[in-house]
């Protein structure tokens, strides 16, 4: 995490960061990251990127995250949402679900994974990023079929929604997105200026402790 910590330090308090860790990280490492502006740990469950982490390691990390007042960022496949629902409901820290849970737009708003995600959003521990439209879309650029999913999530929990660029779009599928198009798409997801401010400013400030 040296590069991230250096970037945060150079920002003079304007940035926060999240970490990807392994079993080697000690309590001293966590404190060093916290002092440097890290506020969360990201876990990848996506199959084409290696699949689920060791769940014992996951649970031990949750304990550390809880002790230091951080949150988790969870990168999941859509099929993971129903399968992991009972497990994640037991996690006692805030969790940010990345890329709208990678649901498939072609499967519609009534698909079981998206229903699970909406159910999670009734719980104050769950947050969601309405980003990664290119990962949700089934029709390709400009990925407008992802917009209804974002709007549903915003309606469900406007105080626990974040947005992100996902730049430089690692492991992207068939279509490398145009970043300007993604910014324009956000305006369709949140057409109200007060809602835009909540997602882009107020919500992340609260979660990351600015």
Q: Which residues are catalytic?
A: 166
Give CA angle at 158 (153, 161), nearest 5°.
70
Strand (E) or helix (H) holding 43: strand 38-44
Which pair of structure tokens corresponds to residue 135? 């990962």
Cβ-proximal residues to 126 (8 Å cutoff; 6+ apart), any chain? 94, 95, 97, 120, 157, 160
Please name every residue paired with 75 in a beta bridge, in sequence order, or none if there are none: 44
Closest CA to 82 of 60, 107, 103, 96: 103
Q: Which phi and psi (to 5°) does residue 74 adopt?
A: -115, 120
Contact status, residue 99 vs residue 122, Cβ threshold 8 Å: no
Enter the DSSP assignment of 108.
Answer: -
DSSP secondary structure letters along 125-183: TEEEE---HHHH-SS-TT-GGGHHHHHHHHHH-GGGEE----TT-TT--S-PPPHHHHH
């Amino acid at each position: 995490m040296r590069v991230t910590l250096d970037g945060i330090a150079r920002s003079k308090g304007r940035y926060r960061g999240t970490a990807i860790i392994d079993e080697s990280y000690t309590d001293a490492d966590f404190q060093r990251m916290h002092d440097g502006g890290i506020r969360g740990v990201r876990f990848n469950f996506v199959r084409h990127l290696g699949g689920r982490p060791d769940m014992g390691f996951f649970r031990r990390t949750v304990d550390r995250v809880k002790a230091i007042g951080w949150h988790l960022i969870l990168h999941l496949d859509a099929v993971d949402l129903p399968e992991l629902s009972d497990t994640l409901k037991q996690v006692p820290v805030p969790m940010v679900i990345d890329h709208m849970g990678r649901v498939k737009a072609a499967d519609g708003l009534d698909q079981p994974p998206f229903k699970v995600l909406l159910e999670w959003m009734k719980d104050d521990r769950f947050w969601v990023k309405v980003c990664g439209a290119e990962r949700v879309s089934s029709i390709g650029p400009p990925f407008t079929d992802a917009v209804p999913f974002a709007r549903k999530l915003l309606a469900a929990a406007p105080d626990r929604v974040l947005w992100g660029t996902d730049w430089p779009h690692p492991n992207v599928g068939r279509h490398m997105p145009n970043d300007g198009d993604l910014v324009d798409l956000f305006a369709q997801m949140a057409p109200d200026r007060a809602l835009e401010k909540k997602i882009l400013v107020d919500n992340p400030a609260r979660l990351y402790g600015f």
